[in-house]
Structure 1
Amino acid sequence: MQLTDKDWKAFRIEDLFIVDKGVYLKKNNILKGYNPYITATSLNNGISDFIGNQTLFSKNAITVEKISLSAYYQPHDFYCSHDVSIIQHKNLNKYTSLFITNMIKRQGIKYSYGRQAQMNVVKRETILLPIKNNNPDWDFMEKYTKKIFSKKEKLYIDHINGYVNNLVHEDILDLKDKEWKEFFIKDLFPSIQRGKRLTKANQINGSTPFVSSTSLNNGIDNYIDNSSDVRKFSNCLTIANSGSVGSSFYQPFEFVASDHVTHLKNNKMNKYVYLFIATLTNRLSEKYNFNREISDKRILREKVLLPVKDNNEPDYDYMEKYIKNIMKSKYNQYTIKIKKNKRSVE
């Protein structure tokens, strides 16, 4: 059955769901750990960090942030900040939740920084849902979402299979068997430049990634359309100077860099070499923090260990093969997992 074949009805969120909100957490009270920390961000499923603080809410819930009414299904127990609303119901699972989050997001056009959706506003918001006997048709929502998943997973598997076929596994030395040498970052990257300050208030919504100092989502903090008075880079590494200090990512696309990140570029490097080195530059986060940021002078003095050839030069060929081997293995694992999940759903 299609969406157009169903009868629909408007429901107030508070009439259907238990609605709650998170708890304020000071930065200096955040513990290191692995529990999802949900805040008022419209990216990365609402996750801004992973923390060690005890979780407040159980999985199979929906979180709603206050700025644009971005709603996300949470598949794990989580901690939630005070500026996020939590929606719970006994019939919420992965598939019904994903159906409902899309209906909530449709109301987001009404909200902004100047008109935020705090918990009481979320309670009064209405959403359209398919019905059966004048009540939400939970069974239809689940089956409809599963059908979409099945189509998307097939497309993903076809894409991955084509990608994996172009990756050839090569026998190479283990990391521990290679010779390694320290290199100054400034000697590895001829082009080192920090981005330019761009406040939230001056960001224009668009499609160009805006990379800042977050440790999540490849460093992407927003998508913007600013073209003047900004610094754009592509095909390079970024490293966070502040915030999540040391977080390092390979950026394959053109992006706008904030003043909280520095771009590192070497035209002799490709995607795989960048990914190898990003893992090593990311370790700089161990020696820096909010109180000790990576200044322009400090980054020029930093070193990284790299595998080398017999002439003591960086072995970029080895790095490329090493990453390709990992990617081929991981993509095969993803494909197997998706197929297993699909069989369990069916």
Structure 2
Amino acid sequence: MTFPLRRALWLLDAERAHRLTVAALRLMPLRAPPAADPILSTEIAGLRFPTPVGLAAGFDKDAQVWRELLSLGFGFVEVGTLTPLPQPGNPRPRLFRLPADEAVINRMGFNNGGLAAALPRLRRDGRGLVGANVGANKESADRIADYAAGVRAAAAVADYVTVNISSPNTPGLRDLQYGAALRDLLAAAVAERGATPLFLKVAPDLDPAQVDDIARAAVDARVDALIVANTTVARPALRSPHADEAGGLSGKPLAPLALVRLQDFRRATGGALPLIAVGGLDSGAAAYARIRAGASLVQLYTALVFHGPGLALRIARDLAVLLRRDGFTSVGEAVGAG
């Protein structure tokens, strides 16, 4: 995306700018993903990732441009969050840029066109790895049934499925992260996944006992990986207008909390479960730090708003340099080395 176009998009409200960005990507000539440095190739859950740098859910909610995003240098793309029924999400405005903080606050509320509309666009074609992030409808009478339906449908077409119970923007959703509710949810999801890897996305706003409980439940249920972590409802010191808006905070201010929570889950799982780090990642050095702290893969989203569409390639390039500098021959060797 050229600088004049990025500047023009910044003159629009954040949600409209995002819609136009997706529309522009749909007009791009479809290209093969760029060749990745072999040192970046890594495997988790039986999947071979060309690089550990992925795009988090939230950008391509309805699986419209995942192929185009892979062509920007992402090793994998996660679409969604998708719910069984279409829903409009929360009232607008609901997406706010915080430029002075390189952050975003959103309270989107799982706005999407539904599983049936999106999943036909996820047919595997060998172009790259794509995951589907699934959630529950806001007004659902049985949210666990919603997740089971989402996993069942997405597992047929996606390379992996993520159960998202950590968004702060659907009332009561995070209650599914705890105790019997979490175990019932995971049992239902595992029963529907077939041979498709199943990931669980957790919140950063957890205390040590909650971390331990989630880790035990995920290991016991044979979940394939944990994604650590979603947006936070905490508010560190922020300088931008809109800092007091309700919703989940992402971007640079989330990075310290996301790193601590990653370390907590590494300790709690004892390395028995692959971890995927997300939250405030904006450079090769940041990605490398998360890998050394225990992440097998990393994801980003908010940093694209501030650093542009070439960010995935820059992070991958810099990560390869850092791995070789420290004598590693693969990403896997560096996982947890810090």
For Structure 1 versus Structure 2, the TM-score category normalised by the shorter chain is under 0.3
Instruction: Flag the structure with more relative contact order, 1 or 2, with Cα contacts below 8 A and sequence separation at least 6.
Output: 2
Question: Which has the higher Rg, Structure 1 or Structure 2?
Answer: 1
So what's the TM-score if we normalise by structure 1?
0.21
Which protein is richer in strand relative to its size?
1
